[in-house]
Amino acid sequence: MKASRHLTLRLAAPSDATPIAMMSRDLIETGLPWTWTPERVARNLVQRDTLVVTARDGAPVAGFAILQFGEERAHLSLLAVRPAYRRQGVARHMLLWLTESALTAGIVSIHLELRETNLDARRFYVNQGFAETVRVPGYYRGGETAVRMLRDIRVKA
């Protein structure tokens, strides 16, 4: 199925908690215990220091991202795009939206972790200006290695 290019980005609503959680379970947490449950996503939706954005093609959630803010750093906890919408700029647009929000909030860097074996995601983040900083063996429930990545988002003069 060819995805529409009429995607809209917006802040997630409470009704998005279950679809986001299901996408996390199916697209990110595959093979791991499911931790981003509907309840956990719903808690994040109301946190003042967290932005949850969705990409939509009409009613269904085509993609989502969760960014948590600290003093000067932000942590990209999750980002997923349904397979039918991949390679169409959906993740890039969500990341751009979140980066602009982070800059407005005074954030200087965005950090994330991902599975070492997720080569497509690693390539995507490198193309978006992220650098691999360290590998953490056993990060994912003692079994899989994580790659930590960082992007300095300060505007350079």
What is the model's pTM? Answer: 0.91
Q: What pLDDT does residue 125 have?
A: 97
On whether the CB atoms of residues 74 and 67 are closer than 8 A, the answer is: yes
pLDDT tens for 99-130 read: 999 999 999 999 999 999 999 999 999 999 99
> In this predicted model, what pLDDT tens digit does every residue of 87-102 receive, in sequence order?
989 999 999 999 999 9
**Mind listing the domains of the chain with CATH numbers?**
8-152 (3.40.630.30)
Mean pLDDT of 40-45: 97
Mean pLDDT over the full length of the chain: 91
Residue 33: pLDDT band (50, 70, 90) is confident
Tokens 């063996």 belong to residue: 137
Residue 62 has pLDDT above 90, yes or no: yes
Percent of the chain whose pLDDT exceeds 90: 79
Q: Which residue has the higher pLDDT, 22 or 1?
A: 22
Instruction: Find where tokens 């199916």 sit.
Output: 26
Q: Where are the alpha helices (DSSP H) in 33-116?
A: 38-45, 90-104
More confident of the two residues 25 and 59: 25
Q: Report d(CA 38, CA 45) in Å as an integer.
A: 10
Concatenated DSSP letters for 107-139?
--EEEEEEETT-HHHHHHHHHTT-EEEEEEEEE
